[in-house]
Structure 1
Amino acid sequence: MTRTAVIAGGSGLVGGHLLALLLEDPTWDHVVSVGRRELDLEHPKLAQLLVPFPAIGELPHSDDVFCCLGTTLKKAGGRNAFRVIDHDSVIALAGSAFRNGASQFLHVTALGASPRSKIFYNKVKGDTEYFVEAMGIPTTVAFRPSMIDGQRADRRTAEELGLRAMRALGPVLGKYRPTRVEDIARAMVAEAKRREPGNRVVEADEITRLGAEH
């Protein structure tokens, strides 16, 4: 049987690494990238679907849907715009995945995500996890990395300074140490291959462990 993956956010830091892994892995015969703009990438397994997030419409039938959509409050330009990307677009993607028979939905949220959080960022991430779980997809997996460690196309000075300090303190930070982007992508692939039914969360320290093992 053929197996198809859909990935949203393939132009981003985590999504770019994940897309490369999906295209290399023989587990998936077809990979569909969903985004606002076309990726400068060609591959025999790759198809691209352009959508005006959060209005996604209907996804093609797929087995596994990976969501790497995400931004920052500063880049989004405000709370409402941030919520559209990090909540509304993710929920729309999950809804379409459910309607079109996806068996798994795997998405990146954040360390500390909780609907009860008093921190706006963490509350939005927690609300998103809650609604994704309630969608009815047989398997949902939320990945909660700490600060993501990777080379971004757009330099974020404050974030880079924070990363340098956290890298130096890594051994004593535990799950709060920076989470390498490579580990997030590898952990998502590893969890997708398990195909274990139910809703679960993969915390930052577990992401790091899975990334090292795969």
Structure 2
Amino acid sequence: MSQVLITGATGLVGGHLLRMLIQERKFNYIAAPTRRPLGDIDGVFNPHDPQLTDALAQVQDPVDIVFCCLGTTKREAGSKEAFIHADYTLVVDTALTGKRLGAKHMLVVSAIGANAHSPFFYNKVKGKMEEALIAQQWERLTIVRPSMLLGDREKHRFSESLFAPVFRLLPGNWKSIDARDVAQVMLKEALTAAPPGTTIIPSAKLREMAQGEG
């Protein structure tokens, strides 16, 4: 039996993943700190605070695995600073909390094109986030890099609705992917034994693995 910590449970990938974790009998403890309450969910510890870092601090029980599904856009966040806080600072805080609680495996949602040296702001922040987690020297670190995510969000994203038809037609890593497939692969990776080290899974590979081909 394993104990897990998940952040981003109110989001698109995180919402799917939380439901999968609840149904998976191999997990006997789920901590899901959030900025707004999840509501009463049996078997889930849900400290919540507008400052997610404060909610993370309330998690005290040991965990084995950490999932981080945090992610927004600059438009949604409202500023570059707010985006960095959501997609870098809070991700690193999640990882540090997992380390504090004894976790050995960290799984995180990044993005296609993540590169700390990218001229594009979004990709650069995602790349720096990845570098920060790698520098923490996790026994096992799994980074998933999906393309445009498909699924029903609580908050409508104009750019995604505009470009979704195009991304459905693109090849390889650029082809859009269902958020549920990303969550499914993250769960599969968490339950599968693997050698120590960092694994980066690009979007095309995520689709293959979700379909049972990888």
TM range (shorter): over 0.9
1:7-29 Cα deviation digits (max 9, x unpaired): 10101111000000000111211
1:94 matched to 2:82 = no
Contact 1:36 1:50 in 2 (8 A): yes
| Runs of 4 or more above 3 Å deviation | none
Q: Secondary structure at the match of 1:199?
A: strand
Say which SS state the counterpart of residue 107 (structure 2) adopts.
strand
Report the Cα offset of residue 156 of structure 1: 2.3
Contact 1:142 1:201 in 2 (8 A): yes
Conserved in 2, the CA contact under 8 Å of 1:54 and 1:84? no
Residues 49-80 of structure 1 show CA distances to partners (whole Å, capped at 9, x for unaligned) of 22423453364310111001111100101111
The one-letter amino acid of 2:197's match is G
Whether the 8 Å contact between 2:113 and 2:123 is mirrored in structure 1 is yes
Segments of structure 1 that go 5 or more residues without pairing to the other structure are none
| Contact 2:8–2:14 (8 Å) recurs in 1 | yes
Show CA shifts across 1:27-52 (max 9, x none).
Answer: 21111111112102412x21112242
Match of 1:150 in 2: 151
Matched residue, 1:210 = 209
Select the residue among 176, 179, 184 that pairs with 1:178. 176
Alignment correspondent of 2:8: 9
Residues of 2 paired with 1:195 and 1:122: CA distance?
A: 30
The code of the aligned residue for 2:79 comes to G
Residue of structure 1 in register with 2:188 after alignment: 190
Cα deviation for residue 119 of structure 1 reads: 0.8
Instruction: Note the C-alpha offset of 1:154.
Output: 1.7
Which residue number corresponds to residue 27 of structure 1? 26
Counting only pairs closer than 5 Å after superposition, residues 31-180 of structure 1 correspond to structure 2 as: 31-43=30-42, 45-51=43-49, 52-55=51-54, 56-57=56-57, 59=59, 60-167=61-168, 169-170=169-170, 173-180=171-178
Amino acid in structure 2 at the alignment position of 1:57: A
SS of alignment partner, residue 152 of structure 1: coil
Q: Which amino acid aligns with 2:52?
A: F
Q: Is the 8 A contact 1:4 1:62 kept in 2?
A: yes
Cα–Cα, structure 1 residues 153 and 193, in superposed 2: closer, same or farther, change >3 Å? Answer: same
Show CA shifts across 1:164-184 (max 9, x none). 2222x14xx211000111110
- Residue 179 of structure 1 aligns to which amino acid in structure 2? I
The more displaced of 75-84 and 152-161 is: 152-161
SS at match of 1:110: coil
2:47–2:58 Cα contact (<8 Å) kept:
no
CA distance in 1, matches of 2:158, 2:58: 38
Instruction: Quote the residue 1:201 is aligned against.
Output: 200
Sequence identity of aligned pairs in percent? 32
Q: Which amino acid in the other structure matches residue 186 of structure 2?
A: M
| Residue type of the alignment partner of 2:140 | T
Q: Distance in 1 between matches of 2:146 and 2:15?
A: 16
The answer (yes or no) to whether the contact 1:73–1:79 under 8 Å persists in 2 is yes
Structure 2, unmatched stretches of 5+, are none
Report the number of matched residues: 209
For the 8 Å contact 2:114–2:127, the answer to whether it is kept is yes
